[in-house]
Amino acid sequence: MGKHKSWVWAMVVLAALLPLVLDIKYYIHLAVLAMVWAMVAQGANFIQGYTGYVSIVQGGFMGVGAYASTLLAMRLGLPVWISLFVAPVITGVVALVAGYPSLRVKGHYFAIVTMAYNMVIFIVLINAIDITGGESGISRIPPPPGFSVGGVTVDFSNRSHYYYLMLAALVATSLVAAWIVRSRIGRTWQAIRQNENYAEALGISCARYKLAAFIASALYAGFAGALYAHYVGFINPSPFSVDASMNAILAVILGGSGTLVGPLVGAGLVVALPELLRVAETFRFIAYGVLLILAMVYFPRGLVPMAAALWARLRRGAGR
């Protein structure tokens, strides 16, 4: 366990040094987006990886958080730092209202219901023009106010500075995720994933725990959406469609469903692969699709479990 923790913190230190190595601002921008999607995928992992239910509404919840924080800051005059934390709470309330009836259904029916919720959220964001600006969106969204520490000025309108804010937020959500999945709630989620009927026979209120996973996934997506809105400075409904929800699901599958590190790795791939394939021009989306299919066929457990199994095999071989 100690070695594992050391490895994790070493990765955090390397991530903190990244802006010092990447001189091109666009790469820093991609790194920020990867961390946003990592947070969304972390939330999806609660309901998908640990509870065993595929939820196709993470993109919608991300949109709720983005618009909630934006409107709280710009229309109600709430300080940005406060709106960033109120937005996920609002998203959680939306998830509570939506999840209570929908979690009575199981399997593929649940996935269909949540996809319908994402479509409803998307349609509302487009048509509530007086509130959301419709397809034109909302611009000039302020970043969090900066501050000075020891003569060093922190300005979150600077991409490199926002990178560190996003990194700190991701480390915090990762620590919370690790605590949750190792708690009684996390163990119960895994019991539901293994055999929901058996869990119910043991007296576990599966509906209550599934609702908790659904709300937790929404809190993470809402927080990520709020951070995204104040980073890019402009939002419209486009980034919060069903496609966004599919990207979150894909990140969990690629990285490793039901693992703590998997969603982080998967999110990095979801952001990086389309950029790396730009050289293919017209065929890049075809190439992207083919690579994803190959990854899911040959690495069905995800890259992180596969890498862990390979490393264990190499260690056993070296010990002989």
Residue 267's SS3 state is helix
Summarize pLDDT for 158-181 with one digit per residue, the tens: 999 999 999 999 999 999 999 999
Mean pLDDT of 23-51: 93
Report the pLDDT value the prediction gives residue 271, as an integer from 0 to 100.
92
pLDDT band at 291 (very low <50, low <70, confident <90, very high): confident
- Quick count: other Cβ atoms within 10 Å of Cβ 147? 10
Lowest mean pLDDT among 111-115, 182-186, 197-201, 283-287: 283-287
Is residue 242 a contact partner of residue 69, using CB atoms and an 8 Å limit? no
What SS3 class is residue 261?
coil
Mean pLDDT of 266-271: 92
The reported pTM is 0.92
- Across residues 49-54, what is the average pLDDT? 92
What's the pLDDT at 56? 94
3-state helix, strand, coil in the chain (%, to 5): 80, 0, 20
pLDDT reading at 301 higher than 90? no
User: Which residue did the predictor score with more confidence, 320 or 309?
Assistant: 309
pLDDT for the residue numbered 91: 98
Kindly report the average pLDDT of the chain as a whole number. Answer: 89
pLDDT at position 1 over 60:
no
Average pLDDT for 123-137 = 96
pLDDT at 313: 82
CA 175 to chain centre: 14
Q: Is the dihedral of CA 30, 34, 35, 40 positive or negative?
A: positive
Residue 231 pLDDT > 60: yes
Instruction: Return the closest-CA partner of residue 193 out of 205, 210, 208.
Output: 210
Cα distance between residue 265 and residue 252, in whole Å: 9
Q: What's the mean pLDDT in 259-267?
A: 93
CA 227/CA 162 separation, integer angstroms: 9
Q: How far is CA 37 from CA 56, 62, 201, 254, in A?
A: 15, 10, 37, 13
Mean pLDDT of 94-98: 95
| 281 CA to centre of own chain | 28
Listed residue (275, 207, 226) closest to 43, CA to CA:
226
Most confident of 203-207, 227-231, 279-283: 227-231
| For the chain, percent of residues with pLDDT exceeding 70 | 94
